[in-house]
Structure 1
Amino acid sequence: MATHFPDDFKCPISLEIMSDPVILSSGHTFDRASIQQWLDAGHRTCPISKLPLPEPPSLIPNHALRSLISNYSDVTFPKPQARPPTPQTLSQILLSPSSSWEDKLHCLEQLTRVSKTESSIRRRFAESGLVSAVLSCVDSGEVGLVAEGIVGKVVHAVRDGAGDSRAVAATVLTSLAMLEVNKVTIGSYPDAIPGLVALLQFGNSRERKEAATALFTLCSFPDNRVRIIQNRAVPILIQNANSGLERAIEVLGLLAKCRVARDEMMRCTELLDILIAVLKNGSSRGVQYALLTLSCLCCYSEKMALEASKVGLPEICVGLLEDDNEKVRRNAKTLIQVLQGKRTDV
């Protein structure tokens, strides 16, 4: 029996199930191949909202949606409500001083769920002034309580879930962490980062990938990098990178900006070989972050720079200057400058 996929899994351009969903700055998601074709044709507006896009346009991987699509046949989704709540009802709950934060949490969860169903509902909510009611929760500090209420349940699933729930919970944390304020809340939650690090160490292949993705998303907030390092994630990330998990290389690239992480990386005698192997055989994204990690390490340690030069790293970088990916070319150029002693910061 053929699987019936929700319409949200279909690219708005091709109307086919998305294999590599990415998010535009407008907030809309498209399949990478379709939106790239749109951009290559010279368009610089969102196909749906018509809002102008930055130059160059940014395509952010929608890992949460991709995971849901790939595992849809194994996931049971709640049935949508027959009648969505009215904007007036939701506004009254959010604005009422007598509403408890639990009521507001339920209201916001309901709003999030319903607004995902179709664009006409989102427009109706926006035109009703409901956005102001949601922002009032932020102004009153309720957003912290809302986020903590959700995070606690998800983190519990990361640590103690059964079956696929641990991987799904890690994916949810990634989705929540797309908002900067949630990066702070998730990172400061006592068991969040320790739970993800434990999943990265002891989980199966899918769980380890989702845990690494969540850690990568959290890493853009500097305090979270410190927390990840304090939870002994660096050797675990190196071990995963050695087993072929490129997402671990991406996390190492961000952590390498911290001196404590660089010190830990320098103690791993296999790391240079692992990173060079990624440069030779990895994906463009893996190569990009392997170059970033090496730049940070070679800039920090003259000994590392000498060892890297002895094993042919400069020649590898010269070859990467012709790569199709602009970020790979830029990072390769930076690393060459570091190895030549022409750059002392990254």
Structure 2
Amino acid sequence: MSEIILEMDNIIKKFDNQEVIKNISLKVDKGEFLTLLGPSGCGKTTTLRIIAGFENPTSGSVLLEGKHVENKQPNDRNVNTVFQNYALFPHMNVFDNIAYALKIRRVNKIEIKERVMKMLSLVQLEGYEKRKIDGLSGGQKQRVAIGRSLINKPKILLLDEPLGALDLKLRKQMQIELKKLQKKLQITFVYVTHDQEEALNMSDRIAVMNEGIIEQIGSPEDIYERPETKFVASFIGESNLIKTRIKKIDEEKISVEFDKNEMIVNYKNYDNSKNKESYALVRPENVKYTREKPQFGIKSIIKEHSYIGSMIKTIVESESGQEIIVYDYDKKKDLIGIGSEVWIYFEPEDVVLVEEG
């Protein structure tokens, strides 16, 4: 059974009487890698700052290992934060930056040296202990910041867009290294990013945030394959959201209609009681097209082909004006020409129904 290390209960945060966090509740397991994912301004960094103690909630509670900490100062919580801008001391070398917190606590010199050298090994900076901060690359500075944050063995490490300033290749490399480090140390990570791929690659669970609320919490597979709202479906990866009309709902099957086509899909627990707009989510990799009319198909016109490395991305337009994206990983087959009439089709099991909310 998992052990809960962090719990946020009914958190509300107001700035100038405006709610930026709207009644968030969240539980994080010990040793978990949880990511707060969402666009700029959704409240993810404010949520992280409330956990760290840099912001106090307007109402609600924060519990660390079952104890209330919402009114405690940052240095009275056993959590540390890694910032995007590193926040390193430029006048100190690598060793002294990492050792800083231990020196403040008056740990003896022999233990400081032993722990710092071990940390340098963990973050792959052996031999860099005398190097000045200005002489390091972005990735090396980030490793120093992580090492400095971990040296005190925090219960939770909070990371606020820590890889945002790095170039793409280095960012991907650091994603792998961070995940390996987290698994090796078994420290709980709460990670903030707006990068969907980063969240999917690194997380045990993802909390997708939008306008101050958590729209969905789940594993990367749940978030990608089974989004619960239109926002989550559209924010995570590329998606086709086809407006649908619900015709009939049984216990586990729903009859839906879109573009004059009816399809029976298997879907449990779909809540249509609020009469919200409904959409059929179909990922581009699950869509196919053909010249011949299939048993189920949406009549469309080829609008565009794009070569994207490992695949061909095709955009078609249905008779109702809906643009649909198709990924084709068979790059050797002949492409159907722009302006040609085709039929789009997909399997019922690849359809996920989502609400407008």
The TM-score bracket by the shorter chain reads 0.3 to 0.5
**TM-score, normalization by structure 1:** 0.34
Q: Which has the higher helix share?
A: 1
Query: Which one has the largest radius of gyration?
Result: 2
Q: Which has the higher strand share?
A: 2
**TM-score, normalization by structure 2:** 0.33
